[in-house]
Amino acid sequence: MRTRPSQSGFTLIESVTVIALTGILSAAALPRLTALSGEARYAALQSAGSALATVAVTAHARFMIDRRNTQEMEDVTLSMVEGYPAADRATFDAAGLGKGYVLYTNALDPAAPAVPAGSFAIVPRSIAGTPGARACYLVYTQGRAPHTPPVVTEGEGASAASCT
């Protein structure tokens, strides 16, 4: 008496069902994953604002001690305006933002956010040069009067949704 060898595997219907379910679940999850990237980018942008504020406060404290119009921080020479760091590349570099952000000091680039005089804007590198850059950015504005601290603000309409 001969026994038939047993066959194992999936039938065509089982395979198609699994592929269809995977596709449906992926389609449902994709918008959520996109939203998570926007939330992460927005949180990182807020962290960059904190780094700029820290540089400003630290440099101002040093200025109050020695009253020099330049301060050394993180191997960068900061120019001081009204006792706080100027809105220039040195402040951006002292905050350690060079790897993750693009600095805009004027708005000549059509994809760049508006940058007023005495200010600079930073945009996450991953969206720099795209239309999203005009909706997900920070602006650092140097002080305009003695002992007036700089202001770090989110760009108009910046949110987790606009940073996707």
For 80, phi then psi, to 5°, come to -100, 140
Is residue 5 in some structural domain? Answer: no
Q: For residue 31, give Cα distances in angstroms to 16, 27, 159, 164.
A: 24, 8, 16, 10
State the residue range of the domain holding 131. Answer: 16-154
65 Cβ partners below 8 Å, 6+ apart?
none
Is residue 164 in some structural domain? Answer: no
**Structural domains of the chain, count:** 1
Confidence of residue 140 (pLDDT cuts 50, 70, 90): very high
Tokens of 113: 């956010």
pLDDT at residue 31 in the model: 63
Query: How far, in whole angstroms, is CA 49 from its chain's centroid?
Result: 9
Q: How far apart are CA 119 and CA 35, in angstroms?
A: 30
- Which of 144, 163, 149, 120 has its CA nearest to residue 53? 149
pLDDT digits (tens, 9 = 90+) for 75-128: 999 999 999 999 999 999 999 999 999 999 876 777 788 888 899 999 999 998
Reduced to 3 states, what is the DSSP secondary structure of residue 103? strand
pLDDT digits (tens, 9 = 90+) for 41-61: 999 999 999 999 999 999 999
Contact between 52 and 152 (Cβ < 8 Å): yes
Q: How far apart are CA 57 and CA 129, in angstroms?
A: 31
Is residue 2 in some structural domain? Answer: no
State the average pLDDT over residues 123-135. 89
